[in-house]
């Protein structure tokens, strides 16, 4: 059973389109992170959100933490081929444990 | 380059065998995390160490064990290997805290790809 459910699991869209990826749970997290992973590499941190309702922007990427700290979303505006990759959300449980969702595999077609 | 080194990068072995995966964390990081990534399971948390002590345990099988040494490198031992153990095994390090919640970034190595035939 996955503690964090990401949707969609796969997404293929055209360059220039907008998209949103969701990360949902029934658990409350002290913080939530989004990572991006490219083939042959380990995940790399994009952002950490801590406060319920928090919104963070990273260029064309907008991250939001749900008010109840149980869910998060990642919105990409005007997607580019360079955005292609596996996007992973990760929630911190307790003092140390960081659990990941199963990931959203995003493909941006030129 | 994340600064986390994992060896070996690739490993092919037979069912029933035992292997050891090694991880050197970033300089100064005290926490080491181990994750298993397979196609249908995503990134599964196995175990975490802080400064040589086990701090959190996830879905780690009894056939698997890990430790963190005084020089802070860590090893993940996988024994009585089964076909289903084939996966990418990632090590990640973080500065970590002795007990606080923390929001720190995890720095991942490039992974060790294990194939069990």
Contacts of B61 (CB under 8 A, 6+ apart): none
Distances (CA, A) of A17 to A24, A59, B27, B39: 23, 15, 41, 27
How do residues A66-109 score in pLDDT, each as one tens digit?
A: 999 999 999 999 999 999 999 999 998 776 678 899 999 999 99
Q: SS3 for A93?
A: strand
Q: What is the DSSP letter of A94?
A: T
Interval A31-46 mean pLDDT: 92
Which residue is closest to A102 within chain B, CA to CA? Answer: B42
**Contact indicator for B105, B2 with CB cutoff of 8 Å:** no
Q: Does B25 touch chain A (CB under 8 A)?
A: no
Which of B45, B109, B111 faces A99 most closely, judged by CB atoms? B45
Interface of B with A in 93-112 (CB under 8 A): 96-97, 99-103, 105-106, 108-111
DSSP chain B: --S-EEE-SEEEE-TT--EEEEEEPPTT--EEEEEEEETTTEEEEEEEEETTEEEEE-S--TTEEEEE-TTS-EEEEE-S--GGG-EEEEEEEE---SS----PPPEE---EEEEE-
Interval A40-59 mean pLDDT: 93
Q: A90 CA to chain B: closest CA distance, Å?
A: 10
Query: Would you state the pLDDT for residue A30?
Result: 87
Q: In angstroms, rounded to a whole number, what is the distance separating the alpha carbons of residues A18 and A86?
A: 17
Query: Would you state the pLDDT for residue B97?
Result: 64
According to DSSP, the residues that pair with A93 across neighbouring strands are A97
Tokens of B103: 């929001």
Q: What is the DSSP letter of A83?
A: G
Query: Would you state the pLDDT for residue B100?
Result: 46
Q: Are strands A104-109 and A10-14 parallel, antiparallel or unpaired?
A: parallel
Q: B81 CA to chain A: closest CA distance, Å?
A: 23
Query: Would you state the pLDDT for residue B103?
Result: 64
Query: Would you state the pLDDT for residue B26?
Result: 94
Across the interface, whether the CB atoms of A95 and B101 are under 8 A apart is answered yes
Stretch among A5-19, A43-57, B27-41, B88-102 having the lowest mean pLDDT: B88-102
């Amino acid at each position: 059973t996955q503690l964090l459910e990401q949707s969609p699991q796969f997404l293929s869209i055209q360059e220039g389109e907008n998209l949103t990826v969701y990360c949902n749970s029934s658990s409350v997290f002290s913080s939530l992170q989004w990572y991006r992973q490219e083939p042959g590499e380990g995940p790399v941190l994009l952002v950490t959100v801590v406060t319920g309702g928090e919104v963070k922007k990273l260029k064309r990427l907008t991250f939001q933490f749900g008010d109840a700290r149980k869910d998060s979303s990642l919105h990409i505006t005007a997607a580019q081929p360079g955005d292609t990759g596996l996007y992973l959300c990760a929630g911190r449980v307790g003092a140390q444990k960081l659990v990941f969702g199963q990931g959203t595999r995003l493909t941006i077609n030129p | 380059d994340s600064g986390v080194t994992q060896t070996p990068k690739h490993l092919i072995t037979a069912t029933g065998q035992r292997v050891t995966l090694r991880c050197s964390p970033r300089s100064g990081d005290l926490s080491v995390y181990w994750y298993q990534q397979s196609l249908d399971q995503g990134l599964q948390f196995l175990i975490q160490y802080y400064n040589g002590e086990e701090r959190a345990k996830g879905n780690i099988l009894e056939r698997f064990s890990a430790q963190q040494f005084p020089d802070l490198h860590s090893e993940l031992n996988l024994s009585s290997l089964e076909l289903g153990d084939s996966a990418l095994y990632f090590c990640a390090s973080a500065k970590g805290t002795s007990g606080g919640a923390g929001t720190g970034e995890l720095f991942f190595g490039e992974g060790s790809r294990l194939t069990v035939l």
